[in-house]
Amino acid sequence: MQNLALTFNATGGNPGGYVSVADADNADTFFVAPVAFSGNLSAAINGSLVYNSITDQTADYAGPLVVIKGNGVTLVYQTGTQPAGVNVWNSVSVPIGPNANWHVGTGGGSLATLSDFQTVLANVSAFWITAETHNGVSETTGLDSVTLSSTDSTVPEPSTVYYLGSGLLAAATLLRRRG
């Protein structure tokens, strides 16, 4: 894994400032949550991850949208082409619970079960949001307004503060892109 330079943009976000990363190679690139966004996130089961993204290229990449790792299990959320319009903020909502888009191990793995979510979210060790939208080495992607919600309003929620205030990192994985 290679760490990439993350840029904080003081204006132009949705709203306020946002972070962005320029794709530096032909590997999958992710926004990686800091260590503060790990541990027991079980309260998020049946909640949702919501964030805003923006890119400067036409979306044609169909890799993983979100990756969550914990207790030796990897969950991958993959829907097809990334939801993104050129130079337009897009709101993305990812349900945190079993459905047809969550898989174990890879985007083509078996469908994730409630038990898989309970295992992973009991001790999250990695939480990634894609920075990929375009096949090629040319896009810059921005991320803003990240929240992880719970169906139980009494449980404190990790939020954008964890992503932006705690030193969000962009990383390129060693996985080669498809197509």
pLDDT class of 12 with cuts at 50, 70, 90: very high
pLDDT per residue as tens digits for the range 72-83: 999 999 987 766
pLDDT per residue as tens digits for the range 111-145: 999 999 999 999 999 999 988 888 777 788 999 99
Domain 2-176 classified CATH 2.60.120? yes
Separation of alpha carbons 71 and 144, rounded Å: 28
pLDDT per residue as tens digits for the range 85-112: 789 999 999 999 999 999 999 999 999 9
Q: Domain extents for the chain?
A: 2-176
Pairing status of strand 6-9 against strand 18-22: antiparallel
Considering only residues 170 and 137, tell me which one the structure prediction assigns the higher pLDDT: 137
